[in-house]
Amino acid sequence: MKRFVSLLMTLIIFTSLAGPTALAAEEQKTTDIVSNVKSAILIERDTGKVLYEKNSQEELPPASMTKIMTMLLIMEAIDKGKLTWDEKIRTSEYAASMGGSQIFLEPGEEMTTKEMLRGIAIGSGNDASVAMAERLAGSEEAFVDKMNDKAKELGLKHTFFKNTTGLPVGGHFSSAADMAVMAKELLKYEEITKFTGMYESYLRENTDKKFWLVNTNKLVRFYPGVDGLKTGFTAEAKYCLTATAQKDGMRVIAVVFGSPTSKERNAQVTKMLNYAFSQYQTHPMFKRNQTIGQAKVSKGKEKSVEAVTSEPLSLLTKKGEKTKDVEQKIELQKKLKAPISKGDKVGTIKLMKDGKVILESPLVAKKEVKEAGWWNLYKRSFGMFTKAGGK
């Protein structure tokens, strides 16, 4: 068992907000918001609180909503410095052969990461998805393994991927609840909505093969605050959508599987968004990457690393209710040992009310800490020895 050093601070909040612990009972009384879909879920992004659900654990084909996980691994690679926005990605014969939605990449054609991501987020390009998968993992099969590893890491029990695209294949499935968790994770990377929230764009703009992209998520244009995330459709899956919207500082995620038409899909998601924004509010507490403390590191080039929030943190409440006396508890892992990678968990932050945890989130390393060489360790030990000897 790892040992922790705990720091407890009491934060008194006088606002017009209420503790989210009171929400669960009320949600059980909520009448059925959506209809004519196989499954659905509505969550608040920062807390992950479920505001509404219908058959949300049912395993169903996700179609192109699969690309939410594909985009998540792309954004993670960029965040960790393993991929750059301007790197040119080469298209293989295999990637160019993808059917379904595509941006018509040709074998050997190169596009930047930024262009490929536009092709995935706006145009749902299967070819672009596979090209990026091959760049990051060497092959689509290896990338799919990474997708399933990430699903396990996120605790998803009703998801298994067979490809990066969502093209129909047996044994490829997810659930509304799992898809919402993937979307929550993807939205940690705020840059993603610059792509998913774009209604139209162009690829190969200054060539004779100029290609117009139009977002398949029409709510991006017609519902204020919607800026993502991904539609899906196959004959088996029917019309699916994972949508996100932000209003008055609150971001929510709405997912539907198996709607009979795109119009009906959009109507049901709209109902959930309207419900969320009319009934709930959030109070932002911390932004992502906000420094919370310093975690000590042994045998590293640096003796400590900044512990930062891994995601935005807020309190969620019903509108008009009040709260106070929220405690903030910070636990930093003791005697962390180098090497440490950027994003590694180094602690936990908890928001507590009346002795109960109302929000818990990992604290992560702000930067990499490499292992110190023997000479650095010798000088450090020698310095400690001389200090002790000089007393």
| Residues annotated in a binding site for substrate | 230
67 annotated active-site = yes
β-partners of residue 349 are: 330, 361
For residue 1, give both structure tokens.
């068992």
- CB proximity list for 388: less than 8 A, separation 6 or greater: none
152 is a catalytic site residue: no
CA angle, 263 as apex, 258 and 265 as ends, to 5°?
Answer: 30
Q: Which of 375, 373, 64, 371 is nearest to 241 (CA)?
A: 64
Catalytic residue among 39, 56, 101, 124: 124
Helix axes 126-137, 113-121, angle to 10 degrees: 140
Q: Which of 54, 67, 150, 353 is catalytic?
A: 67
Tell me which residue of 80, 382, 37 sits closest to 179, measured CA to CA: 37
The contacts of residue 31 (CB under 8 Å, 6+ apart) are: none
Residue tagged active-site, from 39, 56, 64, 129: 64
State the binding site. 230
**CA separation for the pair 288, 248 (Å, rounded):** 18
Q: How many CB atoms lie within 10 A of CB 220?
A: 22
Amino acid at 300: G
Residue 259 falls in the annotated catalytic set: no
Q: In whole angstroms, give the CA distance from residue 23 to residue 47.
A: 12
Catalytic residue IDs: 64, 67, 124
